[in-house]
Amino acid sequence: MKIIKLFPKTIYINTIEEESVFSINRILDLQRTLPSSQYYTEKHKDDQDKMNTTSVDKQILKNFPHLTNLIMKEFNYFKNEVLKYTYNDFKITTSWLSKSVKGQSSHFHNHHNCMYSGVYYSKIDKNCGGISFEDFSDKRFVLRVESDNEYNMNEITINPQINTVIFFPSELHHKVLLNHNLDVVRYCIAFNLIPIGDLGQDDSFAKLS
């Protein structure tokens, strides 16, 4: 018997052990003290107050070069050792803060003009909103299953801990789950990455710098 996992969507999850308490506190200080005018909510009819907010600043990781280096070190392991994309480097194009108070979440969405996306969790606790991924491809039938596994799942939920980083293909639909915790604000830093260098060949060749 042979089973082929055809065209998988690969999600990478790990904890950044090297990140210092001092650095995490600096991140949390910025998140806590950033005025509400520096956050905005995506406009959704009738439920805007229930949506998580994101920072206006879309280059937030420039404030944290040490964290950026740790994220890229982790991503380079993922792309070199797991995906075997050894011929191209990647660059973070955008990064922003995301904030959810009790009762807030997000709709399913994906990211454009990037190849991989990621989330780093600087502040999270039980019941304050993990992340869910769903397969939005066209399915012929929806069947009941005896137990979920990687061959039959259409959705997966991840409940990260502090210092967790997650990488996933940018086209993968995902959403912030509802924060049920009155006492804990869910903070994270999200970001997008693109490959740089020589891409493709012949009439599909491109060079990104």
We find that the CATH architecture of domain 12-33+49-199 is Sandwich (2.60)
Closest CA to 9 of 137, 130, 106, 114: 137
Q: Supply the pLDDT for residue 35.
A: 81
**Per-domain boundaries in the chain:** 12-33+49-199
Q: Which pLDDT tens digit goes with each residue over 5-60?
A: 888 899 999 998 776 666 777 888 887 788 877 887 765 555 656 888 889 999 99
Q: Supply the pLDDT for residue 129.
A: 82
* CA dihedral for 118, 187, 16, 14, sign (positive or negative): negative
Sequential DSSP letters for 48-66: GGGB-EEES-SBGGGG-HH
Residue 162 — very low, low, confident or very high, per pLDDT cuts 50/70/90?
confident
Which region among 30-34, 90-94, 123-127, 159-163 has the lowest average model confidence (pLDDT)? 123-127
